[in-house]
Chains A and B, each alone.
Chain A
Amino acid sequence: MNDESILSNLIAELRRGTQVLAVLGQLHKDQYGYSLLQDLSTKGIKIEAGTLYPLLRRLESQGLLVSQWDTQETRPRKYYTLSPLGLETYTSLVKEWQLLIDTMNQILKEEQ
C-alpha cells in the first residue's frame, strides 16, 4: 500500500462516518434512490450509487426508514422517508455531530 492509497483510504473512512447522517438529513421528505443520489451530489456529498442503495435498505431494516413502492408512474420507484425512530435517531445524531465538531475543532486549534 503506498502513501496515496493510505490517504485515500483514510478519507473514505472519514466520509463513511458522515454518510448516514447526510442521508438521514435528506429524508425528511420522500425520496427514491436516484433522486437522493443527485440531491446529495449537488450538495457536495460524495457517495457512490453502489454504496447508497444498499445503505438505504440497511437503514430501513434497522427501522430508521420506511419505504413504499410507487407504481403509479411509468417507472415503479421505491420511496424512502424517515420513520419516527429515524427522526429521533437523526436528532440525537445531529447533537452528537455538533459535539464532535466542537471537540475536533478545539483539538485541531490547539495543535496549530
Chain B
Amino acid sequence: MMNQWVERYIYAVSKKLPVSMREDVSKELRANIQDMIADEPLKEENISDILHKLGHPNQLANSYRGKERYVIAPEHYDNYISALKLFGVIFVIVAVTTIPLTVYVDGWRTVAKALFRSLSEGLLNTFTWTTIGFWIMGSWGKNDTKETWKLKDLPELPKPNQRKISRGETIFEIIFGVSFGLIFISWMQNGFPFFNMDIVRPFLIFFYISVLFDFCVGIVKLIYGTWCIPVVIVSTIEKIYSLIFSYFFLRSDFLNHEIYTTIADNSEYSIETIKNTIDLSKEILLIVIVVGTTVSILTMFYKVYKANRKA
C-alpha cells in the first residue's frame, strides 16, 4: 500500500514526460525514492514528506523536461501521432469509397479534379485540426504546480486488467460507419424513390450528426483504448441519441405513399393491409432497436463494473 503512493507519484511524473525518457526516469526516480524511504519507518506521513520534498509531480516533470516548450504535450504525443495516422487513413479511405458515388452523379472528369483537390486539402486540414485539437488538449489544465497537494491528489495507476478495446475492430467500425453513413445520406439527398422527401429532408441533418457522433465515439475509443468511464459515457450518449433519433424517424411518415399503391397493384392485398403491415414492422423494428440499445448499454456498464471490481 505504501509503495502504491510511490508508484502513483512516479506515474504522475512520468506521464508528463516524453516517451523516450519515461522508462529510465521512472526507474531512477523509483531507486532514489526507495533510497530516501529506506532511512525512515514505513509510514504514510513519511512517504508523504519524502514525496513532498521532491515537489509537485508536474513541477518535477517540468524540471526533467528542461525548458523546452511543446505544441503537443508529451503525455499526448503518442496519441497525437496515432490520431494523425488514423485520421489520415480514414480520410483517404472515405474519400476513395465515395468515388463510385460521385462518379455516378457527376462523371469522371470533375471527380478526378475534385478528388485531387479534396485529398490535398483534406490531408492538410486533417493535420491542422488534429494538431490544434491536441494543442488545446495539452494547454488545458496544464501546469498545475500547487505547493500544497496531498497523496490522494496523485492520479490512479492505469488498471492492467481493464478490458481492452480492439484497435482493429474500432478502426473497422469507424471506416464502415462513416463511409456507409455518408453514402446512405447522399443517396437520400439525391432522392430516394421509396422515401417521402418532404418528410425525410429535415431529418438529414440528424443523420449527419449521427455519423459524426459515431466517428467521435470511435476516436474516443481509440484514444483511451479501454472501457473506461469517458468511453462509456460517450458511447452511452451516442446510443441514446440514436435511440431517440430512430424513434422520431420511424414514427414519422417517411415512406412514399406511392409504394403502397405499387405493392397493392402487384399483389392481392389491399392498400389498407399493406399499410398496416408496414406500420407493424416499423413498430417491431423500433422495439428491436430499444431492446438492442438497452442490452448493449447494460453490457457496457457490466464490463466496466467487472473491470473495476477485480482491480
Contacts and interface: CB of A to CB of B under 8 A. Distances in A.
Interface of A: 32-35, 48-51, 53-55, 57-58, 69, 75-78
Given A50-B53, A57-B25, 11 more contacts: A32-B32, A33-B31, A33-B35, A34-B36, A48-B53, A49-B54, A50-B55, A50-B63, A53-B29, A57-B64, A77-B31
Nearest to B66: A58
B63 to A, nearest CB: 4
A48 B147 CA distance: 14
Contacts of A48: 53-55
Nearest to B32: A33
A53 B66 contact: no
B173 interface: no
Given A48-B55, A49-B53, A53-B29, A34 B60 contact: no
B265 interface: no
8 contacts: A32-B31, A33-B28, A33-B31, A33-B32, A49-B54, A53-B28, A53-B64, A75-B34
Interface residues of B, number: 17
Nearest to B37: A34
A31 B194 CA distance: 81
B294 interface: no
Contacts of A54: 60, 63-64, 66
A28 B28 CA distance: 20
B293 interface: no
Contacts of B53: 48-50
A77 B32 CA distance: 8
A76 B34 CA distance: 10
A97 B28 CA distance: 31
Contacts of A69: 27
Contacts of A75: 31, 34-35
A99 B198 CA distance: 89
Contacts of B66: 54, 58
Given A57-B25, A57-B64, A78-B28, A49 B35 contact: no
Contacts of B186: none
Contacts of A50: 53-55, 59-60, 63
B38 to A, nearest CB: 8
A51 to B, nearest CB: 7
Contacts of B31: 32-33, 75-78
Contacts of B64: 53-54, 57
A65 B293 CA distance: 61
B32 A53 contact: yes
A32 B28 CA distance: 9
A81 to B, nearest CB: 15
Contacts of A49: 32, 36, 53-54
A45 to B, nearest CB: 15
Interface in B221-253: none
A38 B55 CA distance: 18
A31 to B, nearest CB: 12
Contacts of B29: 53
B33 to A, nearest CB: 9
Contacts of A58: 66
Nearest to B60: A50
Most chain A beta carbons < 10 A, residue from B27, B32, B35: B32
Contact of A51 (B28, B35, B63): B63
A77 to B, nearest CB: 5
A19 to B, nearest CB: 12
A33 B30 CA distance: 11
Contact of A32 (B25, B35, B59): B35
A35 B35 CA distance: 9
Nearest to A76: B31
A48 B32 CA distance: 13
Nearest to A77: B31
Nearest to A52: B32
